[in-house]
Chains A and B, each alone.
Chain A
Amino acid sequence: MAPTPDWVKQLKPSGPQGHELLAAERAKSDLPVEQLSELLFTKEVLQKKQRILNVLKSEKVFDKSQNYFSGRTDRFEKALARAKKLRNLRVKHNWDLDEYRTATELISEPGPYGLHDSMFLITLREQGTPEQHEVFLKKAKNYEYIGCYAQTELGHGSNVRGLETTATWNSKDKTFTIHSPHLTASKWWIGSLGRTANHAVVMAQLIIAGKSYGPHPFVVQIRDLKTHEPLENAHVGDIGPKFGYNTMDNGFLLFNHYKAPHVSMLARFSKVDPDTNKYARQGSPSLIYGTLTWVRSTIVMQAGSVLARGVTIATRYSAIRRQFQDRDAPQGEKGENPVINYTMVQMRLLPLLAATFALHFTGKAMMDLYSENQKQMNQGNKGREDPNQRGAGPEETQSGSDILADLHATSCGLKALSSTIAAEGLEMCRRTCGGHGYSSFSGIGPWYADYLPTITWEGDNYMLTQQVARYLLKSARSVLANQAPNNDTTRILTDFRSRSEIGCAFDIIGSDSDIVSAFAWRASFLTFEALKHRDEQKKPWNDLLVDFYRLSKAHSQYMVVKNFHSALTAEETRGGIAGETLDVLRKLYRLYALHTLEQEGSEFYVSGACSRNQISLARTNAVMKLLKAIRPHAVRLVDAWAFDDWVLDSSLGRKDGKVYEDMFYRASELNPLNRITVDPYPDSEVLFKRIEGRGEGVRSKL
């Protein structure tokens, strides 16, 4: 393509310029953006982020300009180059784990070392014995062993007990034989496995003398350390292109009677004695379930910031994009209306903006609670239970405080709710951007695609809700039997019971804390309803799954509302920000809560938590007023999330509002398709006539 002519370079967008519009938006509100950012992240973290960002920006390999154009193999190749560079930078700048994670987050694309850095190292550390740490962990930390975590199989996802891969103990030569009896036993979806890893933690059914002992982790070498070719009888590869995550080599792995030494079974919690050939459990794995709880808490907290990216882009663009004149605008008034003035756009965006804060504070509260209890547990409670008596599932462990058990059970539901809010919210943000939201340059689509698997991993969102329901039913039974442990869930259930013959009257529109009570009421009501179905009417478990799903959702929504509310009343928050900021945050809280309440109106109404009239008022009056009140602060509120333009990688979400200039620049200057001149006529077999900057003809790609 000919270079862009001068007359094009001189063109400006019509009407008020994007930077003027955003400046006007920022002038509408005096919300102290920096102060709010510091409340969300702390000053120290913000500075650290900036420092790391500067390092990343100066490295050419992290340049993003061609990301949106490349094919799968190229994308993976680049991602590997980036992962290597990142590791080099970590060594060079002596970054600690936290800094390294920050850098990964800033690059925000899944990388080929992803599973090595996370699940592989964590599993070795947590489930390995000191001897195994010596054999595996040292080399893994050095990246001599590059690993992955192979649990999911082609035919089995969330159900660990259904795994088909077997590890059979051979008493003669003291080895395990790892084997895939069916095609559906193939490990599948395993991140970093496809092309990168030379080792894997493999979850397999342990079999000793014909008896199965359930799934256990084994460290298995799968590729030669020098040639990087798969070892004999281990068959491994990448599973192909996906909806998103194409920079990651999710892989498959099959074993054909593969022999692994005794040391490969991670033996901190259970082992096979090589002399007696007996199986034995030792220690308590509840710390591991703690890790799972921690992982879910981070998912909740991340959901807030994941969604905030989409909301930032959509909010800024909606303040610039204009469409149609206001139907009621006075005759002669010029110009179209920025779409953010439409209540219809506000209705889609502002509740999501409120949700970003709600999820952030909820995740934070969970992590605080987790670390608090983790500390307590490490001090007391050791060796309280008999390891041979416990069941295999996390929901059946008794150890740790009642609060942690409560947190563990409820974290499943929150993970499900928050990742669904984030994923659906991102898609909503993309659609709110109208036609341009569909362009990769919006930055939302590709981000959404990479985020989507979160809905499924760490437990499919729909399946997880069963665990929550099971726990809630158990809690309700304990309340009925007057044997309830002391935690938040049993407290709200007990409250509900105590008022069952009095009823309630919550002032959902007038009182912030009554909103929390109304959410608690509805969740409790649904819990006892479900219990009635199950215990009294003896309905089959399977028939109740939809009820359970609703129940889990109701309970998680209660948790979010409660945590958001307590964050606002916490000393830490009130001390950190000005009164007016707190007031805006309170409005966001009310918007999130009342919007949710109105969406789920019939459950609140049926449970008696509030009246039909209140729901109707919430919808037509309270929510509309909140939208209007929050509207002027919208741009500053998203500014507080402090996303650098480099991270957003979006034309529409630019901080300076140069939306159209950037769209045009990317299309005309960065777009490789425009270097190609085609022969368009159907009777000619020639497709590409000429490609600038490339001598040779186009190879066949089929």
Chain B
Amino acid sequence: MPDFTSRIRPCYDGSLTLETERRSSDIDVEELACHLLSRDFLRRQRKVLQVLQGEHIFSKTQQMNLSRPERYRLGLARAKAIQRIVRRHGWDDDHYRMAEYLNDEMSPYHLHGTMFVTTIKEQGSEPQKAYWLPQIESWSIIGCYAQSELGHGSNVRGLETVAKWDPVKKEFEIHSPHLTASKWWNGSLGRTATHAVVVAQLLLPRAPSGKPTATRTGLPTATAEPKRVTAAEEEFESHGPQPFILRIRDERTHQPLPGIVIGDIGPKYGYASMDNGYMLFNHVRVPKEAMLSRYAEVSDEMGTLNRKGHPAVVYGSLTFVRGQIIMHARLVLARAVTVAVRYCCVRRQFRDRDSRSEDDEEMKVLDYPTVQIRVLPLLATSFALHYTGEYMYKLYHQSRQTIEKGDFGPLAELHSASSGLKSLCTMLAADGIETCRRAMGGHGFGGGSGLVGLNADYLSKPTVEGDNWMITQQVAAYLIKKMTEAVENREALPKDPTDELFQFYLKSRSHRVPQSIANEDGLIDDEAIVDAFRWRAADLSYRAYQARVVEQKPWTRLMIQLHSLSRAYSEQILVTNFYNSLDSTPSTLSEPTPLVLRTCFRLYALFTLDSFASAFTLTNAVSSDTIYSLPDVILELMADLRPHAVKLVDAWSIPDWLLDSALGRSDGKVYEDLFDRAHRRNPLNRVTFDPRWESEDIVLGSGDGGRQVLAKL
């Protein structure tokens, strides 16, 4: 290729632009970074980054050009490389997780180190743990977790795979009675794993009439009533889903064992490096020990189920996982916002319409309110998520202690709060990535934005761990229950913040005056903001209680209303936690950071308020004057935040290597990088095609009449 291109420069200097941006704010980036991420995290990030950057295998330059099988291959190679690095450097778990975070793709080993090992640890009996954990830790087996099926996702009780107890041979028979029973979507299963935790319906022989087949020791549980399975299995009854650990592939040939069919489910929206799999069983026999039996065990003599202990502790760890998801969501969102803020400072478009001089430079697009309104509220949201994530960790640790003491009281509050929040936060992050991507115009669509892969990989989050729309039902059911209690017993001692809110609401309902949040002089009442969010949540809870408990409306008909309720309740938590954090920041952070954080709080809260303006007015939470003045107030808040935007995203400390984005580079060399990627690193440019339609050759001079292409179909 002729190359006069190495000499030419962009019209505006991106590095200079970002330097100017950084000079316009006095925020101490390092201080804020430590506040958000901790010194340990930052040190670890630097250390691990240095090692990964040194290995060619982690270079991302070609991955967007690869086909699916190639992407998986690369994913496996990287997963192996990380294992070897961990051993070489003697890294602990935190370092390993940092490596996974920086490697930034779903590793084919992911399930081995997460759900697989966690399930064995939490659901295995002591002998089972003693047998399996050493093999897992030495990687002589590689595991996955097989719960979802082709026909069933979130509803565990609907699973079709069965584990039938054979009372004569004292073993289980695992079987897939239908096509929809096929395990599906299970990560690491498709090509990688040798073992799987399989969740299956436990079938036990029906006892001669009168005798129960299940006995319980310890605390009672809320399991479904035993249900009949199919006509052919009249003599068996189901005891609900139970986890089994199974060997699924031969250690040497790595082929599936007889009676088991396994494969990868094919390409997806993201997760190209992960082999999400399917699996079917044809009457596969496994020993009694396969069933993980910390909480339930089949007795040899009677073929009955003995339950022991309380599996509620498990929900505790699910809550912790959700806390992690939120903390991850904030970093993902921060990443998208980092790219958008930096690029929108470098990118220029049109001169100001009010400008009088032809010589004025084109405006930075971040100075356009239409761009600000998309990007800056998301910047504020990343902080909102942060303070709630912190609160969740705290809540988890507090509840953990009381649960272990045998007190399950706060679990409901914890579980309810975490599922709704997880749903909201992942949605905010997923939608936020897409909003940022679009705010960047055409280049956002290109591979050089760095958000293309992020968007695809992150989009599954709203569905894993329970579909966001379904999970909100749990929150609403919980709130209706709480409101019913509060109505029925107005004088009871509040057990948790929700009780307090509801009692306050019921007392002041009759004489509520809608809040005025901002006045015309631009003064904003922060406490009134919090009050408005809390009031809306309480009022919507009360309406849901009215509709369901008093008027007995059908549940399905209320679902939409209940979804809004869940969202309002979670937003109330985000706003309250953000607000509470403002009190403590001035002591740890130097000016102007606490002030800027307060602006972020207001922007997040008022932007949200404006988006749901009609719900806030209909519930009498805020006055209509407030709604009318919001657009102007928001515009001013954005103007206040604007000079600090670049430094705020800098504080999230996302390394350029992780961003993998021409647009989001911290040095602002946007166009140089875009051009470099297109011109020097693009494999398509190594091929000269024959574009004339009369010629059947696709590659110029190949003389194969296009046969090579047909062979690939």
Contacts and interface: CB of A to CB of B under 8 A. Distances in A.
B192 A678 contact: yes
B349 A680 contact: no
Contact of B445 (A249, A435, A452, A601): A452
A14 B178 contact: yes
Nearest to B8: A183
Interface string A40-72: 000000000000000000001101011011111
B675 interface: yes
A343 B370 contact: no
Given A5-B282, A158-B349, A328-B555, A241 B266 contact: no
B684 A84 contact: no
Contacts of A254: 4-5, 8
B688 interface: yes
Interface stretch (A184-192, A294-302, A559-567, A577-585): A184-192
Contacts of A183: 5, 8-11, 671-672, 675
Given A154-B674, A240-B684, A243-B447, 19 more contacts: A13-B179, A13-B180, A61-B709, A71-B70, A74-B712, A80-B698, A81-B706, A84-B693, A235-B1, A238-B684, A240-B447, A240-B682, A326-B555, A344-B469, A347-B560, A435-B464, A540-B354, A546-B373, A668-B278
B2 A235 contact: yes
Contacts of A601: 613-614
B266 A194 contact: no
Interface string B539-566: 0000000000000001111111101000
Interface residues of A, number: 164
A96 B679 CA distance: 38
Nearest to B557: A343
Interface in B337-376: 347-350, 352-354, 362-363, 367-371, 373
Given A440-B269, A681-B139, A545 B370 contact: yes
B334 interface: no
Contacts of A12: 178-179
A344 B628 contact: no
B77 interface: yes
Contacts of B3: 235
B125 to A, nearest CB: 27
A84 to B, nearest CB: 4
Interface stretch (B59-67, B231-239, B567-575): B59-67
A228 B261 contact: no
B18 to A, nearest CB: 16
A238 B685 contact: yes
Interface stretch (B43-51, B152-160, B396-404, B525-533): B152-160
A15 B261 CA distance: 22
28 contacts: A8-B280, A8-B282, A11-B280, A69-B266, A72-B65, A157-B441, A183-B675, A184-B12, A228-B690, A239-B682, A240-B64, A241-B447, A242-B446, A323-B154, A323-B158, A323-B470, A344-B469, A344-B560, A431-B463, A440-B266, A540-B354, A543-B369, A543-B635, A601-B613, A660-B179, A663-B150, A701-B70, A702-B74
A37 B462 CA distance: 35
Nearest to A668: B263
Contact of B681 (A240, A548, A663): A240
Given A342-B559, A606-B627, A660-B180, A542 B5 contact: no
Nearest to B351: A162
A238 B678 contact: yes
Nearest to B72: A673
A435 B148 contact: yes
Which among A143, A158, A327, A546 has the highest number of chain B CB atoms within 10 Å? A546
A194 B72 contact: no
Contacts of A546: 369-370, 373, 631, 635
B362 A162 contact: yes
Nearest to B363: A542
B83 interface: yes
B691 A198 contact: yes
Nearest to A670: B266
Nearest to A245: B445
Contact of A78 (B264, B460, B672, B709): B709
Q: Which of A348, A431, A544 has the most CB of B within 10 A?
A: A431
Contacts of B487: none
Contacts of A186: 675
A188 B269 CA distance: 26
B459 A438 contact: yes
- Which 7 pairs across A and B sit closest by C-beta, in order of nearness? A71-B67, A601-B614, A682-B83, A14-B178, A602-B613, A241-B64, A344-B559
Given A61-B709, A687-B73, A438 B151 contact: no
Interface string B202-246: 000000000000000000000000000000000000000000000
B4 A237 contact: no
A191 B333 CA distance: 31
> Binding site of A, secondary structure by majority: helix, strand, loop or mixed?
mixed
Interface string B138-155: 011010000010111111
Contact of A441 (B261, B266, B617, B627): B266
A146 interface: yes
A542 B354 contact: yes
Contact of A256 (B4, B180, B352, B353): B4
B502 to A, nearest CB: 22
Contacts of A130: none
B79 interface: yes
B438 interface: yes
A564 B80 CA distance: 58
B265 interface: yes
Given A240-B677, A242-B446, A342 B556 contact: yes
B69 A445 contact: no
B617 A602 contact: yes
Contact of B68 (A7, A69, A548): A69
Interface string B656-700: 000000000000000110110111011111011111111110111
A698 B69 CA distance: 11
A69 B445 contact: no
A435 B185 contact: yes
A291 interface: no
A65 B72 CA distance: 19
Nearest to B431: A427
Contacts of A445: 268-269
Interface string A100-112: 0000000000001
A230 interface: yes
A678 B191 contact: yes
B442 to A, nearest CB: 5
Given A228-B691, A438-B269, A152 B442 contact: yes
